[in-house]
């Protein structure tokens, strides 16, 4: 097979082929009626009804895993190795030969593409395709989709055009929305409240955007549930942008915001208040965008409280699961950071914690960690909260927070 060849063999193979008469990609695509769509069009389309939209990422598996557009699915017109080989021929040999090679890789995937489209109910949806810059790969995959009887559209500018929107938002010197901060001790239910309210109120869930619970042990809840980690800062910012845009109410028409967001602001014809959890500058390995973090420091706050029993049960459920599958990952992580925790807690407490994990006593482990580590590390920002809400009854807390949000929004004409 072509992809199994060494670079030397690949060049010899290409030299043996007559690629001089290959038409240009532009001329190939000119034979098809493939429409274009902008990032603004794409975002509004998804906002109004993504259940009727199939967004296909034509890039390689590696590119898709690192970062992608929201709600997209991956069909690599060129796999990781195929993309590498095609790029090698493009740089070292010729553009025409690279196009010929790319087509040799792509064309045999027609049958698997048909299965992919059928499994994603493509006949019942509008099909959109993108690649890195909106050029060769998205164009050729759209051609293949057309050959199967569909009418796809290509994202102008590709993934990079979406990324420009993200950069525009987070480079604004004043974050264009208000924030209502939820503060409180570890395990008090701040994240649980956000996730209970996200279908009713605008929410920015920093931890979900990072797939991390924002602590030294914060990767465990996602790992034990087989949630794919966020790969980089770019992906974290993309997730935040997606939350902000798709959680923005459609029916708000306030003109409270007087500064411009340039082209990005045209998508934000509304202005709102977002619920957000109190965080330090970093969530896991990722930094909260500067102007969003600065707005958070000035935001009014609601303090979430909870009994120690409720906090312990909540953390055990999140970090260990009902079947205690988090025990082994916790042991591995604690052992890897043994020197740190021994310094923070003392040798005696650390040894006791490890014994509790060895015997599967997750609740006792969690209570000691709360009292001896997390509560002592917690730093109050010195804000006078608008209200204190107990999350021991989560439904009551949700209703209380809704009323506070309604009042704050009314006072600020949002």
Tens of pLDDT, residue by residue over 352-389, are: 999 999 999 999 999 999 999 999 988 887 899 999 99
80 by Cβ neighbours in 10 Å (0-12 / 13-18 / 19+) ranks as middle
Q: Where is 186: in which H helix or E strand?
A: none
* pLDDT at position 265: 43
Per DSSP, which regions of 83-123 are E strands? none
* pLDDT at position 64: 97
329 by Cβ neighbours in 10 Å (0-12 / 13-18 / 19+) ranks as middle
pTM of the complete model beyond 0.85: yes
| Contact in structure between 147 and 110 (CB atoms under 8 Å) | yes
Give the whole-number percent of the chain exceeding pLDDT 70. Answer: 93
Tokens of 46: 């998804």
* pLDDT at position 56: 98
pLDDT higher than 80, residue 259 = no
- C-alpha to C-alpha distances, 204 to 7, 92, 242, 276, 331, nearest whole angstrom: 47, 47, 10, 5, 31
* Residue 129 falls in which region: left (phi positive, over 0), alpha (psi -120 to 50) or beta: beta
Q: In the structure, what pLDDT confidence band is assigned to residue 262 with cuts at 50, 70 and 90?
A: very low
| Contact in structure between 181 and 302 (CB atoms under 8 Å) | yes
Q: In the structure, what pLDDT confidence band is assigned to residue 105 with cuts at 50, 70 and 90?
A: very high
With H, G, I as helix, E, B as strand and everything else as coil, classify residue 216: coil
pLDDT higher than 50, residue 261 = no
pLDDT tens per residue, range 58-77: 999 999 999 999 999 999 99
Segment 116-143 shows an average pLDDT of 96
pLDDT higher than 70, residue 297 = yes
pLDDT higher than 90, residue 98 = yes
Segment 25-51 shows an average pLDDT of 91
* pLDDT at position 249: 67
pLDDT tens per residue, range 164-191: 999 999 999 999 999 999 999 999 999 9
Nearest to 237 by CA among 204, 277, 274: 204
pLDDT higher than 80, residue 412 = no
Around Cβ 311, how many Cβ atoms within 10 Å? Answer: 24
Tokens of 6: 């060494």
Q: In the structure, what pLDDT confidence band is assigned to residue 253 with cuts at 50, 70 and 90?
A: very low
pLDDT higher than 70, residue 3 = no
Same fold, 2-165 and 172-411: no
Per CATH, domain 172-411 is 3.40.50: yes
Rounded distance, CA 83 to CA 98, Å? 10
Tokens of 248: 């923005």
What average pLDDT does the chain have? 91
Around Cβ 396, how many Cβ atoms within 10 Å? Answer: 12
pLDDT higher than 90, residue 247 = no
pLDDT higher than 80, residue 1 = no
- Domains of the chain, by residue range, sit at 2-165, 172-411
| Contact in structure between 194 and 203 (CB atoms under 8 Å) | yes
pLDDT higher than 70, residue 250 = no
Q: In the structure, what pLDDT confidence band is assigned to residue 267 with cuts at 50, 70 and 90?
A: very low
Per CATH, domain 2-165 is 3.40.250.10: yes
* Residue 149 falls in which region: left (phi positive, over 0), alpha (psi -120 to 50) or beta: left
């Amino acid at each position: 097979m072509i992809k199994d060849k060494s670079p030397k063999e690949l060049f010899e193979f290409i030299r043996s082929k007559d690629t001089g008469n290959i038409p240009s990609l532009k001329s190939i695509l000119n034979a098809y009626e493939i429409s274009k769509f902008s990032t603004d069009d794409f975002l509004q389309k998804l906002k109004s009804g993504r259940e009727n939209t199939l967004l296909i990422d034509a890039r390689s598996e590696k590119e898709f895993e690192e970062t992608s557009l929201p709600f997209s699915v991956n069909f690599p017109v060129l796999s990781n190795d195929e993309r590498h080989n095609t790029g090698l021929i493009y740089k070292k040999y010729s553009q025409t030969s690279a196009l010929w090679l790319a087509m040799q890789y792509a064309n045999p995937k027609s049958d698997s593409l048909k299965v992919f489209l059928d499994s994603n109910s493509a006949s019942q949806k509008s099909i959109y395709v993108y690649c890195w810059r909106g050029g060769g790969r998205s164009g050729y995959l759209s051609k293949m989709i057309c050959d199967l009887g569909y009418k796809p559209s290509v994202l102008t500018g590709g993934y990079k055009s979406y990324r420009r929107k993200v950069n525009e938002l987070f480079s604004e010197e004043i974050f264009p929305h208000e924030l209502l901060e939820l503060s409180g001790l570890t395990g008090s239910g701040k994240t649980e409240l956000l996730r209970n309210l996200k279908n009713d109120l605008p929410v920015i869930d920093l931890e979900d955007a990072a797939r991390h619970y924002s602590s030294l042990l914060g990767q465990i809840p996602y790992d034990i549930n087989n949630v794919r980690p966020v790969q980089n800062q770019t992906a974290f910012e993309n997730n935040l942008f997606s939350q902000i845009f798709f959680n923005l109410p459609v029916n708000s028409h306030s003109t409270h915001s007087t500064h411009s967001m340039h082209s990005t602001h045209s998508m934000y014809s509304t202005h709102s208040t977002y619920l957000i959890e109190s965080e330090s500058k970093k969530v896991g390995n990722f930094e909260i965008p500067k102007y969003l973090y600065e707005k958070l420091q000035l935001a009014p706050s609601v303090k979430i409280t909870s009994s120690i029993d409720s906090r312990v049960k909540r953390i055990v459920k999140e970090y260990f699961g009902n079947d205690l599958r988090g025990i082994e990952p916790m042991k591995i992580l604690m052992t890897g950071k043994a020197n740190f925790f021994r310094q923070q807690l003392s040798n005696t407490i650390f040894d006791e914690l490890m014994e509790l994990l060895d015997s599967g006593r997750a609740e006792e482990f969690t209570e000691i960690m709360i009292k001896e580590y997390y509560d002592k590390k917690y730093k109050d920002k010195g804000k006078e909260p608008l209200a204190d809400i107990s999350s021991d009854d989560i439904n009551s807390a949700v209703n209380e927070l809704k009323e506070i949000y309604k009042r704050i929004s009314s006072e600020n004409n949002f």
